[in-house]
């Protein structure tokens, strides 16, 4: 039963207010994409044991999508940030690195 803070409305939202939707920062490959790129976009997922960047929507709240960095082994939430970005904020990455020195860093 997770709690994630919605970066849009600032509420520490209960999981029941939220909708989870998998890996964040996936590049859309549309018309003209190669077969490999299309497959990567539609199907291939990092699925890490550890730090995971993922998409959530505050569906029974403000309705906004946001991103979270969360550990899939302990469910610790390192931080949340707006969805309108191509990569996680640098300070968040630094914070995670500090907590998890063995972490390989953000990989798109």
Partner 1 sequence: MKRYSAFAIAREAARYHTGWERAWRSPEPKSHYDVIIIGAGGHGLATAYYLGKNYGITNVAVIEKGWLGGGNTGRNTTIIRSNYLQDPSAAIYEKARSLYETMSQDLNYNVMFSPRGVIMLAQTEHEIRGYQRTAHANALQGVKTEWIGPERVKQLVPIIELSGPRYPVLGGLWQSRGGTARHDAVAWGYARACSDMGMDIIQQCEVTGIDKSGGNVTGIQTTKGAIKCNKLGMVVAGNSGHLADMAGFRLPLESVALQALVSEPIKPCMDVVVMANTVHGYMSQSDKGEMVIGGGTDGFNNYTQRGSFHHLEETVRALIETFPMISRLKMLRHWGGIVDVTGDRSPIIGTTPVGNCYINCGWGTGGFKAIPGSGWAMAEVIATGEPQGLAAEFGLNRFQEGRFIDESVAAGVAH
Partner 2 sequence: MSTRIQTGGRHLDRSKQVHFNWAGKQLTGYGGDTLASALLANGELLVGRSFKYHRARGLIASGAEEPNALVGLGTGAKFEPNQRATTTELFDGLVAKPQNAWPSLAFDVGAINKMMSRFFPAGFYYKTFIHPRFAWKHLFEPIIRKAAGLGAAPTEKDVDRYEYFYAHVDVLIIGGGIAGLASALAAGQAGASVLLVEQTAHFGGRAVVDGVDIDDEPAEIWVEETLAALREMPNVTIRNRTMGAGVYDHGYATVYERINDHLPEMITDHAPNMDAPRHRLWRVRAGRIVTATGAIERPLSFAGNDIPGVMLAGAVRDYLVNYGASVGDRVVIATNNDDAYRSAIALVEAGLDVPVILDARTTADGELPTLAREIGIRVETGKAISSVKGNKHVTGVGICSQAGEGAELEEIKCDAVAMSGGWSPVVHLWSHCGGKLNWDADQSMFRPDPNRPPLGYDGAGFVHVAGTANGYLDAAGVMEDAIKIGKLAAKETGHKPKATKVPSTFSAPENPIEPIWQMPQGMSRKLQMKTFLDYQNDVKVSDVRLAAQEGYQSVEHTKRYTTLGMATDQGKLSNINGLAILADSLNAEIPAVGTTTFRPPYQPISMGAIAGDARGELFKPIRQSPMHHWIDTNGGFWEPVADWRRPYCFQQNGESVGDAVTREILNTRQNVGLLDASTLGKIIVKGPDAGKFLDMMYTNMMSTLKVGRCRYGLMCTENGFLSDDGVVARIDDETFLCHTTSGGSDRIHAWMEEWLQTEWWDWNVYTANVTEQYAQIAVVGPNARKVLEKIGGMDVSADALPFMAFKDGELGGIKARPYRISFSGELSYEIAVPASQGQAFWDMCMEAGAEFGIQPYGTECLHVMRAEKGFIMIGDETDGTVIPQDLGLSWAVSKKKDDFLGKRAQQRSHMVDPKRWRLVGLKSVEPNEVIPDGAYAIDGTVRDNGVKHMIGRITSSYFSPTLNHAIAMGLVENGPERMGDIIDFPTTDGRVIKAEICDPVFLDPEGTRQNV
Residues lying near partner 2 in the complex (CB under 8 A) are found at: 1-4, 14, 21, 28-33, 35, 38, 41-42, 55, 57, 59, 63-65, 74-78, 83-84, 99
CA separation for the pair 10, 61 (Å, rounded): 11
**DSSP label at residue 49:** S
Closest CB to partner 1 among 68 and 93?
Answer: 68
- Supply the minimum distance, in Å, between the C-beta of residue 58 and partner 2: 11
Binding positions for partner 1, 12-71, rule CB under 8 A? 15-16, 19-23, 35-36, 38-40, 42-49, 52, 54, 70
Q: How long, in residues, is the chain?
A: 108
């Amino acid at each position: 039963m997770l709690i994630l803070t919605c970066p849009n409305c600032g509420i520490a939202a209960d999981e029941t207010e939220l909708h989870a939707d998998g890996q964040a920062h996936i590049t859309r490959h549309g018309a003209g994409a190669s077969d490999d790129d299309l497959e990567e976009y539609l199907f291939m997922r990092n699925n890490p044991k550890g730090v995971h960047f993922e998409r959530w929507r505050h569906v029974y709240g403000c309705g906004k999508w946001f991103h979270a960095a969360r550990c899939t082994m302990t469910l610790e939430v390192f931080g949340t940030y707006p969805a309108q970005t191509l990569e996680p904020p640098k300070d968040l990455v630094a914070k995670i690195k500090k907590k998890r020195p063995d972490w390989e860093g953000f990989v798109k």
